[in-house]
């Protein structure tokens, strides 16, 4: 029995101990104390202490596995950073990257918003001065199984991966993770993510909201934060096409053919004229970085590799499903991450490796990407449900992303038909216009001027400022 199974079994036993309240006998307090010590010891086993190249920090961080299905042996890998200051007073935020098939550890944690960024040689880490753990306790999850270090011992699980499967496993993960970290069980909680996590995040939020009717399962979810999110297939496709045309990526003629022949609300790809015209859009985007229109492409190993990086996993339109979306912006960063996470000493420090055998880590899985079996055509109905439940919903968009462009998000929000409570206006950071924002009844939408798909890679200080405003529930600064 490997260490993952041993720890998972221990968690199961702890659940039994914590659910059934001991009878009031003289040593009951002592029994509870022993149980708490056992729980805390489970968390301490995941404490990261010797991560190669890590800058010195004053906060603790943990990495390891949570088994979400004992029968099939499904285990999800997480990396958790306590807040840099006053962790007991700050909320818990779960971050998810999309794909589907891409790693929240490889992207979010060590390219975008975590305290450590992988160095360009793949051999070390540098400190991120704009880490979101300045404002919250940050939990990064590699989900579903097959992503990064997450795995299943049952091969048929990989044939059933989809939105519902992912949401259910993420929900199970949270409850079992709280057994390792019981002090966060009643903590104010938010979910954030980007790209295809535009579907993951609302779907998980809806599941939590529905299950919260049972007090024993209650999670104090207050809101969601979504960056360049895939939201509604029809609106997303219209935005991709219109953005490519308005930014001179495609010709007037190609745009006209698509507008006249593509029914994005219906059976889009059965129309061959439409399909050929969309192919022309994708062809032109292959010449540049679709995730960042105005930056250089990476000329190196990653640009031509088959490791599942986003440059390899270009969108398709041969399915009625909306093509899936990767996270990240610089394909060279993908290469640095792959080198770092496939080191034996790194895997050992993160409690991944089992003996001398390395696990093969990739930043994205092409198999998951191509074989995804369940994708909601739109999560706008979930938005409406969450708004009705009183949850805070913020959506932001880097305005130089061609993959989930600002137009796609604007079209999707417009489809909600929400009343405007604060009209379109600039927001400022360090006395400069950072972007524009508009507030609706139940939703805030903001843009980042000059940022691509993974906004924190382009605007780290600005994105931290928006994150802070989101947590406080305050409007973005509209004066210099």
Alpha carbons 443 and 95: distance in angstroms, whole number: 19
Alpha carbons 286 and 222: distance in angstroms, whole number: 40
Secondary structure of residue 125 in the 3-state scheme: strand
Q: How many CB atoms are closer than 10 A to CB 388?
A: 10
- DSSP classification of residue 269: G
Q: How many CB atoms are closer than 10 A to CB 260?
A: 10
Residue 454 vs residues 7, 265, 461, 464: alpha-carbon distances, Å: 35, 28, 13, 13
User: Which residues are annotated as catalytic?
Assistant: 195, 401, 453
Q: Is the peptide bond before 94 cis (omega within 30 degrees of 0)?
A: no
- The encoded tokens of residue 113 equal 């918003």
Kindly give, in sequence order, each residue whose CB lies less than 8 Å from that of residue 280, ignoring residues fewer than 6 positions away: 250, 254
Segment (H or E) for 411: helix 406-416
- The encoded tokens of residue 402 equal 């061609």
- DSSP classification of residue 358: P
Secondary structure of residue 444 in the 3-state scheme: strand
Alpha carbons 244 and 251: distance in angstroms, whole number: 9
Residue 228 · residue 197 · CB < 8 Å = no
């Amino acid at each position: 029995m490997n260490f993952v199974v041993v720890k998972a079994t221990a968690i199961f036993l702890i659940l039994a101990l914590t659910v059934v309240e001991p009878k009031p006998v003289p040593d009951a307090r002592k029994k509870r104390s022993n149980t708490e010590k056992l729980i805390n010891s489970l968390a301490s086993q995941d404490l990261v202490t010797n991560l190669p190249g890590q800058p010195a920090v004053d906060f603790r961080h943990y990495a390891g596995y949570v088994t979400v299905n004992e029968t099939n042996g499904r285990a999800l890998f997480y990396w958790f950073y306590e807040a840099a200051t006053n962790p007991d007073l700050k909320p818990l935020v779960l971050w998810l990257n999309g794909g589907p098939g891409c790693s929240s550890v490889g992207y979010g944690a060590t390219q975008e918003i975590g305290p450590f960024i992988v160095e360009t040689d793949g051999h070390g880490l540098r400190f991120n001065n704009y880490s979101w753990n300045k404002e919250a306790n940050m939990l990064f999850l590699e989900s579903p199984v097959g992503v990064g270090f997450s795995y299943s011992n049952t091969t048929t699980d990989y044939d059933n991966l989809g939105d519902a499967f992912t949401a259910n496993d993420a929900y199970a993960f949270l409850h079992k993770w709280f057994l390792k970290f019981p002090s966060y069980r009643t903590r104010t909680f938010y979910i954030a993510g980007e790209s295809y996590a535009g579907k993951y995040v609302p779907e998980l939020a809806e599941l939590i909201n529905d299950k919260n009717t049972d007090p024993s399962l209650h999670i104090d979810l207050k809101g969601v934060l979504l960056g360049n999110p895939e939201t509604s297939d029809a609106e997303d496709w219209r935005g991709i096409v219109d953005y490519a045309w308005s930014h001179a990526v495609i010709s007037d003629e190609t745009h006209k053919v698509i507008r006249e022949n593509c029914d994005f609300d219906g059976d889009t790809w059965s129309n061959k004229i439409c399909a050929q015209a969309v192919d022309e859009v994708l062809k032109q985007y292959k010449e540049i970085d679709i995730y960042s229109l105005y930056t250089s492409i990476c000329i190196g190993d990653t640009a031509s590799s088959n490791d599942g990086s986003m440059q390899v996993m270009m969108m398709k339109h041969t399915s009625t499903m909306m093509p899936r979306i990767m996270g990240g912006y610089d394909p060279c960063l993908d290469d640095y991450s792959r080198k770092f996470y496939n080191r034996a000493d790194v895997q050992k420090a993160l409690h991944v490796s089992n003996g001398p055998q390395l696990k093969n880590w990739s930043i994205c899985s092409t198999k998951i990407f191509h074989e995804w079996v369940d994708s909601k055509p739109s999560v706008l109905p979930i938005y409406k449900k969450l708004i009705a439940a009183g949850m805070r919903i913020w959506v932001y968009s880097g305005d130089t992303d061609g993959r989930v462009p600002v137009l796609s998000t604007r079209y999707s929000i417009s489809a909600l038909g929400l009343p405007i409570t604060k009209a379109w206006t600039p927001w400022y950071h360090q006395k400069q216009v950072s972007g524009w924002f508009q507030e609706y009844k139940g939703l805030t939408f903001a843009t980042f001027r000059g940022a691509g798909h993974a906004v924190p890679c382009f605007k780290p200080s600005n994105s931290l400022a928006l994150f802070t405003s989101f947590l406080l529930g305050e409007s973005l600064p509209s004066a210099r």
